[in-house]
Structure 1
Amino acid sequence: MDTRTALLAAAAALLVVSAVGAVAAPDAISDPRETNEPPGRIDIAGATVAPGEVRGETAELRLGTDLRHRGSTVENVTVRHRAIGSESGLLADETTVDVGDVDFEGERTVNGTVTVDREGGYRIETVVFADGERREQQTTRVAGVAALTPDYADTQVGFTDGSVWPTVAVSVVEADNETATLSTSISVTNRGDEPSEDIDLRLLLRQAESNVIAAEATETVGTVRPGRTDTVTATVEVPDGYNYYVDAALFDDDVLVDETQGVANLNPRETISANQTVRDVEFSVEDFQRGEDGAAGDDAADGAAPDGSTSDDSTPGFGPIVALVALVVAALTARRRQ
C-alpha cells in the first residue's frame, strides 16, 4: 500500500469515529463561545409611578419598570401590572406589556399604565415572566390619589394666601340713606412656571343673617406672569346698613378651581367675620329685590313700603323692628335695676 492510499484510509477512519462519537455524545461537540456565556437572567432593577391623565372620577398611573439583563437571550418576556386597593384588597386594574426577546446588555425601561379610581391608595404588583414562567416581582405602594388635580381644573392661578395682605378687600365708593356702592379688590397669584390664560372671577354678596344674594359680579382675570400677584377689582351696589359675606370664586371654562371669602360690614352695631356663624334675625326682603339689571328693586330705592305706599321717613332694613326690640330690651333692663 502506497503512502497516498494509507492517508486516505486513515482520514476515512477518523471521520467514521467522529460521526459515531457525535451520535453517542451530542454534547461533546459544542461551540466554545456558548460554553463561556452564562445563562440568560432578567430581573427588576427599579420601578417608578407617575400620574398620567387625571379625570373627574379616575386617574391614570404611568408605570416605569427598569429591567436588567445578563447572559444569553431571554425569550418571550412579558411584564404584568396589577393595581390592588390598599384597604379593600380588590383588583382595580390590570395590564400586561409584551417585551419580546431580551438580548440587550444592561438596563432598559419598560412602560405601562393602569387606571384607578381617584380615591384612596393602591398596591402596584409588577411581575416579570419569561415564556410564561415567573422570573421576578416587585410591589410599589401609592397613596393620596384623591389629591391629584383633574386635568380640566389644572390651573396655577389661585387666590393669594397672605398673612397680612388681604385676599378680599372691600371699600365704600359711595353711600346714601338707601344703597352703598362697594369696590371689591381680589388678589390672585400665579404659582406656576408659565404665564396664565384668562379665567373668570365671580363674586356673590350675601346678606349675613339671611344668605340672600344682594349683588353679584363677574370679571376676567387676564394673563398673570409666573410668580406674580395681580389685583382684580369689581364694583357692586347693595342696600346700606347690612353686613355681607363676599364670596369669590375662580372658574376656568366653568370649572371651579379656587374659592375664598371676605366680609363687608355696613352695620355699625354688629360686625361679622369670614367663615363665622351668626344668629338669625328678621330682615326686610324688599331691600334685596333686584331688577333686571341686578341692582336693588325700584320700590326699595324709592322708599316704597311692602303694601305699595310711600314713606319719606322710612329707614332701610331692620329699622322699625330693631327700634321695637331695643325698647323691649331697655324696659327689661330698667325693671331689673329696680
Structure 2
Amino acid sequence: MDTRTALLTAAVALLVAGAVGAVAAPDALTDPRERDEPPGQIDIAGTTVAPGEVGGETAELRLGTDLRHRGGTVENVTVRHRAIGAESGLLVDETTVEVGDVDFEGERTVNGTVTVEREGGYRIETVVFADGRRREQRTTRIAGVAALTPDYADTQVGFTDGTVWPTVAVSVVEADNRTATLSVSVSVTNRGDEPSDDVGLRLYLRQAESNVIAAEATETVGTVRPGRTDTVTATVEVPSGYNYYVDAALFDDDVLVDETQGVANLNPRETITANRTVRDVEFSVEDFEQGSDGAGAGDDAGAPQDRGTSGDSTPGFGPLVALVALVVAALTARGRR
C-alpha cells in the first residue's frame, strides 16, 4: 500500500469515528458558549393604563405590560390581568394574554384589556407566568373611572366656563303686571381641534318656589370654530313677579353632553342664586403603594389633645373659680346667722 492510499484510508476512518461519536454523544458537538448560557430571566419593567371604548355603564381599560428578558429562552409565558374593586375587593374582570416562548433581548410590550363599570376605583393586578409558575407581579390603582366620557357623548362643544363672562345671561325685553318677555343668552365653546357639528340647546325656566316649568325653548347651536366661543339667544315669556331658575342643556343626537344653570330674578323683594354643585372627578392611574403600620397609630392618632387638662376636667372652671365659689358660700352662710 502506498502512502497516498494509507492517508485516504486514515481520513475515512476518522470521519466514520467522528460520525459514530456524534450519534453516541450528541452533546459533544454542542457549542461551549451555548452550554454556558445563563437561565432566562423575565420580569416587568413597567405598566401603562389608558381608556379604551367607553360606554354608558362600562369602560374598557387598555393595559400595556413592558416585559424585560435576559439570558436563555423562557418558555410558555403568559400575562394575567385582574381588575378588583378598590372598596369591595371583588373580582370584576380577568383576562390572560398568551405570549409564548420569549427569547428576545431587552424589553417588549404585551397588550391586554379589562372591562370595568364606570364608577368607583379599581386595583389592576398583573402577573407574569412561565410554564405555570409565577415570575413577577405588579399592582396598579385606578380612580375616577366615572370621569371618562362615553363615546356616544364625546363632543368638544360645551358651555363656557368663565369667571366674569356669564355662561347664562338673562335680560328683560318687555314686562307688565302679568307677563315678562325674557331674552336668554347662553355661551358655548368649542374645545376641540376641528369645527363642531350642530348640537341642540334646550332651556327650561322653573319657578323657584313651586319648581313648575313656566317656559321652555329649543335652539340649534351651529358650527363653532376650534377654540371659539359663540352665543345662542332664545326668547321666552313667563309670568312676572317671580324668580326663575334657568336650566340649560346641550344635546347631541338626543344625548345629554353638558348642562348648566342661571337665574332670572323678577321678584324685587327676594332674589335667588344658581344652585350649582360642582365636584371635580379625574381619571387617574398610579402604582399601588403598600402602607406600613406605624407604632402607636391608633384610632385617635393625629387628633388634637389638650395636654394641660385631664380627660374629666370641665371647660371654663379652674381653681380660682372654685375658690371664689367657696368664699361666696361662706359669706352667705355667715349672713344667714
Shorter chain as normaliser: what TM range?
A: 0.7 to 0.9
Match of 2:309 in 1: none
Question: What is the alpha-carbon distance in structure 2 between the residues aligned to residue 245 and residue 236 of structure 1?
Answer: 13
Which is worse superposed, 251-260 or 46-55? 251-260
| Alignment deviations for residues 214-242 of structure 1 (CA, whole Å, 9 cap, x no partner) | 11001111122222211110001112222
1:132 aligns with 2:110: no
Which is worse superposed, 45-54 or 98-107? 98-107
Question: What is the alpha-carbon distance in structure 2 between the residues aligned to residue 13 and residue 242 of structure 1?
Answer: 117
1:160 aligns with 2:154: no
Question: What is the alpha-carbon distance in structure 1 between the residues aligned to residue 167 and residue 5 of structure 2?
Answer: 111
Match of 2:176 in 1: 176
1:30 aligns with 2:30: yes
Q: CA deviation at 1:8?
A: 6.7
1:112 aligns with 2:133: no
Match of 1:66 in 2: 66
Match of 1:121 in 2: 121
Q: CA deviation at 1:250?
A: 1.4
Matches within 5 A, 1:74-113: 74-113=74-113
Match of 1:336 in 2: none
Question: What is the alpha-carbon distance in structure 2 between the residues aligned to residue 57 and residue 244 of structure 1?
Answer: 34
Secondary structure at the aligned position of 2:231 is classed as strand
Identity of aligned residues (%): 89
1:259 aligns with 2:253: no
Matches within 5 A, 1:1-338: 3=3, 27-35=27-35, 37-275=37-275
| Alignment deviations for residues 165-203 of structure 1 (CA, whole Å, 9 cap, x no partner) | 211111111223322211111111222333222111111
Secondary structure at the aligned position of 1:211 is classed as coil
Question: What is the alpha-carbon distance in structure 2 between the residues aligned to residue 155 and residue 18 of structure 1?
Answer: 76
Q: CA deviation at 1:116?
A: 0.9
Q: CA deviation at 1:76?
A: 2.8
Question: What is the alpha-carbon distance in structure 2 between the residues aligned to residue 133 and residue 155 of structure 1?
Answer: 46
Q: Cα RMSD between the aligned structures?
A: 2.6
Letter in 1 for 2:55: R
Q: CA deviation at 1:16?
A: 7.7
Letter in 2 for 1:143: A
Letter in 2 for 1:45: A
Q: CA deviation at 1:161?
A: 1.9
Q: CA deviation at 1:251?
A: 1.6
Secondary structure at the aligned position of 2:146 is classed as helix
Secondary structure at the aligned position of 2:237 is classed as strand
TM-score by length of 1: 0.73
Secondary structure at the aligned position of 1:146 is classed as helix
Letter in 2 for 1:116: V
| Alignment deviations for residues 44-80 of structure 1 (CA, whole Å, 9 cap, x no partner) | 2211000111112111000011122333433332221
Q: CA deviation at 1:31?
A: 2.3
Q: CA deviation at 1:3?
A: 4.9
**Structure 1 segments of 4+ aligned residues over 4 angstroms from their partners:** 1-26
Question: What is the alpha-carbon distance in structure 2 between the residues aligned to residue 138 and residue 26 of structure 1?
Answer: 42
Which is worse superposed, 100-109 or 161-170? 100-109
Question: What is the alpha-carbon distance in structure 2 between the residues aligned to residue 194 and residue 237 of structure 1?
Answer: 36
Q: CA deviation at 1:12?
A: 7.2
Secondary structure at the aligned position of 1:88 is classed as coil
| Alignment deviations for residues 273-317 of structure 1 (CA, whole Å, 9 cap, x no partner) | 2229xxxxxxxxxxxxxxxxxxxxxxxxxxxxxxxxxxxxxxxxx
| Alignment deviations for residues 225-273 of structure 1 (CA, whole Å, 9 cap, x no partner) | 2222111100011122222221111122222222222121222233222
Question: What is the alpha-carbon distance in structure 2 between the residues aligned to residue 270 and residue 128 of structure 1?
Answer: 66
Letter in 1 for 2:88: S
| Alignment deviations for residues 10-66 of structure 1 (CA, whole Å, 9 cap, x no partner) | 667756876786677654431245246444333222110001111121110000111
Question: What is the alpha-carbon distance in structure 1 between the residues aligned to residue 87 and residue 273 of structure 2?
Answer: 41
Question: What is the alpha-carbon distance in structure 2 between the residues aligned to residue 52 and residue 103 of structure 1?
Answer: 30
Which is worse superposed, 185-194 or 34-43? 34-43
Gaps in structure 2 of 5+ consecutive residues = 277-337
Kindly tell me: are residues 208 and 88 of structure 1, through their superposed partners in 2, closer, same or farther at Cα, counting changes over 3 Å?
A: closer
Question: What is the alpha-carbon distance in structure 2 between the residues aligned to residue 269 and residue 72 of structure 1?
Answer: 84
Which is worse superposed, 20-29 or 53-62? 20-29
Q: CA deviation at 1:98?
A: 1.7
Question: What is the alpha-carbon distance in structure 2 between the residues aligned to residue 146 and residue 267 of structure 1?
Answer: 39
Letter in 1 for 2:157: V
Number of equivalenced pairs: 276
Which is worse superposed, 30-39 or 173-182? 30-39
Question: What is the alpha-carbon distance in structure 1 between the residues aligned to residue 75 and residue 254 of structure 2?
Answer: 52
Secondary structure at the aligned position of 2:152 is classed as helix
Letter in 1 for 2:154: D
